[in-house]
């Protein structure tokens, strides 16, 4: 079942790159883009994770422009409003994570 909540959005550049990876790396049918966090939060914050994985019972599942996305339900509150972008420049290349400014509690 696809949920109606979409805690994380992807820019057009990120969508294009995810599709490119799914094709070139031959990501198997039944796998989704997993977006998650690692770390304890607080003052030190989180590290955002991006990869491909099968849906688990504890996941929220939704689609972004035809791409299946899964997020662990317990991470949803930390990911709300997150935007995944893709940067490609002469100095670097990779996914970036943009979170709206929040008040610093730490």
Greater model confidence, 62 or 99: 62
10-35 average pLDDT score: 97
Residue 16 and residue 84: Cα distance in Å, rounded?
Answer: 12
Greater model confidence, 106 or 84: 84
Q: What is the pLDDT of residues 38-69, one digit of tens each?
A: 876 666 677 999 999 999 999 999 999 999 99
pLDDT at 103: 40
Tokens of 41: 């939060």
Residue 96 and residue 4: Cα distance in Å, rounded?
Answer: 24
């Amino acid at each position: 079942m696809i949920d109606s909540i979409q805690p994380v959005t992807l820019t057009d550049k990120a969508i294009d790159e995810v599709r490119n990876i799914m094709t070139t790396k031959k990501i198997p049918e039944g796998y989704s883009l997993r977006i998650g966090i690692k770390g304890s939060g607080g003052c030190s914050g989180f590290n955002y994770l991006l990869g491909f994985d099968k849906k688990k019972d504890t996941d929220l599942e939704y689609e972004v422009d035809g791409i299946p996305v899964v997020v662990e339900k317990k991470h949803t509150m930390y990911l709300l409003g997150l935007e995944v972008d893709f940067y490609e420049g002469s100095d670097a290349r990779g996914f970036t994570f943009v979170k709206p400014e929040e008040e610093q509690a730490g």
